[in-house]
Amino acid sequence: MNFFDKLKEYRKTLAEIENSVYGNKQDYLEVYERNLELEKQIAARTQELNIANKRMLTLQHIWEMMNSARPLESVLETIVNSLQGELGYLHSTILRYQKDEKGPYMSVIAEADNNIIKRVNSIIQIPMQMRRLNYFEDSFYAEALNKREIRTTKNIAEALRNIIPDLREDIFNNVMSGMQTKLLIVIPLYTRNNPFGWFCVFSSRADLADSETDFLTIFAQQIEMAITIADLFQAVREQAITDGLTGLYNRRYFEEYISKEVTRALRQKQPFSIIGLDLDFLKKINDQYGHAYGDLAIKTVADVLKSNARSIDIAARMGGEEFNILLPGIDSNGAMAAAERIRKAIEACELDTIGHITASIGVASFPEHSDSLEEIMELTDQAMYQSKREGRNRVTLAKPVSETSWQEIAVNTFMDILSKHDVPIEVGLTEELVNKLTSINHQSEMPKGVLYNVADMLTKTYNPLHESGVVKSKVLLASSLAKRFDLPKDEIDNLRVAVLLYDIGNLMLPKEILQKASPLTDDERKHIQEHPVIAAREILKPISYVQDIIPIVEHHHENWDGTGYPGKISKDEIPITSQIILIVDAYFALTEQRPYRAKLSPVEALIEIKKDTGKKWSQTLVQEFVTLIEHDLN
């Protein structure tokens, strides 16, 4: 092989090597490019996963809040802040669709807390949440709500002009000059198929991705569920604390609220007053025109109270035709002026068929008349019934609590009975009860609390199944029932004392009879029937200052048809206070456990009481009693 042949061979070999290197280079470049693409895809998928995870956490956060007892506004504020903080949106807000006498409008009920809204609010001076925002039927807000579809706009200026058209041009331009939003996303909100409003999201991105649309739709659905659940919670709560007929608060709520008001008044050294109101002649209205007109009169009084109340006042229907109004921070002078204004407003009402109605009103103030809530409530009651006794349709100011009251009579009576050892009670128990009674003037506990406790302890000596607190419930129920018959204060006070004492004759009876589980024999039943006479003539008669109580106690087992005992008197011969004790005692006997039977529910007890209408008690008494109990049950 000559030189030139060898040179050709070298060139050929070199070309093959170059081709091989170039081919490998292409392979390497392709692998490198594929790796770059793969890394980009991994980064994109990772970002999508992170976004999905954030969205999932946000939805989970909403779900957790929906199962809390937080107010709706608080839940929605947290939701809009979560959306902004976790998912990178510039701002979000929830608008509500509302209507009033001027027509439909929009209002902000939740907005994210960020520099964007702070800047806008500082420029427009009146914050967005305080504004009545305009609603136009041809706006894209209306279109989103009517079609129940997501709407977007890049024209942020027009969206703002739609809801605040009267904004000055210079203020409007100032707002828009710093606006970074490129896209406004509006998602309609519905609850229980009714329009609620809009979920508005302000984005820095000009376009809305499909995945983003899906997420925001799900997000809005969770908001709708949160609103629905919150509305249901609110409805249930309102039903629990609201009187169904009038829409006012009920007795339970009033008593809970006023207990807190005492604490506040003491802490801040401020007064408060209570206005007690009783609609005049409701029974006459019911009898003459029917209960529908009675309800109309009650609702009319409630409407007057609503229209005359401040936002911080608490008006409640306490039962039947009785109402209370709590006036925080108001002394007796202010309360009397408010009460007179209410009285005149009620008197000015002229109702169909009924004509004009009136109310008897009492006023008491804390701490002017007493620094005890229990006493203030009672003084208000007494003042109200004084107005009724003095001719109705007037306002009476309570007098400061006096030590000479039915409570003192009851305390002295218990002390007299126990100290003379007129009843067979163990010495240790007697000493304990006497100490409780003598300590009334040396402790903060109210006399009535001690009285009820003493009466409960005495009752348990012959009835071990007796429940503590029942005596207090009996006194309250009996006095409430007495007020329905317009009894004067002194008769109601006598009734209260009688309720504490009417069964004291049982202390003189053998326990084996009182606690017998099997049916009583005729002799045992006769023995039981002696307890009213024992209480009246043997225990109470020697005590001079309870002579007015004795007839009530002696006749509390007389039946309306004359079949009762001990006198077998009937109908109006029986003191009304004795009739009241009979039905109250029967009700609590039915709802308490007995050795020979299980206790009945309140509804079952009322059924049993109704069966004896015309026999044990009059129809009028049963009607008033059942109405009273059913109102408390509701």
Strand 194-203 relative to strand 272-279: parallel, antiparallel, unpaired? Answer: unpaired
**Phi-psi map region of 586: left, alpha, beta (phi>0 left; psi -120 to 50 alpha):** alpha
Burial of 202 (0-12, 13-18, 19+ CB in 10 A): buried
Q: Which two tokens stand for residue 396?
A: 């009476």
Specify the DSSP element, H or E, that contains 94. strand 91-100
CA 620 – CA 628 distance, rounded (Å) = 12
Whether 361 and 390 have beta carbons less than 8 Å apart is answered as no
DSSP one-letter code for 365: E
Whether 398 and 405 have beta carbons less than 8 Å apart is answered as no
Q: Could you tell me how many residues make up the chain?
A: 634
Whether 436 and 418 have beta carbons less than 8 Å apart is answered as no
Catalytic entry in 111, 224, 321, 322:
321
Q: What's the angle, vertex CA 72, arms to CA 69 and CA 74, rounded to 5?
A: 90
Whether 378 and 387 have beta carbons less than 8 Å apart is answered as no
The answer to whether 48 is a known catalytic residue is: no
| Residue 405 CA neighbour count, 13 Å, CB half | 15
* Residue 355 vs residues 197, 275, 449: alpha-carbon distances, Å: 44, 25, 44
* Residue 102 vs residues 105, 108, 132, 586, 596: alpha-carbon distances, Å: 9, 18, 11, 57, 67
Sign, CA dihedral 34-40-42-45, equals negative
Whether 96 and 197 have beta carbons less than 8 Å apart is answered as yes
Residues contacting residue 236 through CB under 8 Å, at least 6 positions apart: none
CA 528 – CA 508 distance, rounded (Å) = 10
Residues contacting residue 20 through CB under 8 Å, at least 6 positions apart: none
CA 557 – CA 554 distance, rounded (Å) = 8
Whether 360 and 344 have beta carbons less than 8 Å apart is answered as no
CA 305 – CA 342 distance, rounded (Å) = 7
CA 417 – CA 542 distance, rounded (Å) = 10
Q: What's the angle, vertex CA 543, arms to CA 537 and CA 546, rounded to 5?
A: 85
DSSP one-letter code for 68: S
DSSP one-letter code for 134: -
DSSP one-letter code for 155: -
Burial of 579 (0-12, 13-18, 19+ CB in 10 A): buried
User: Active-site residues: which are they?
Assistant: 321
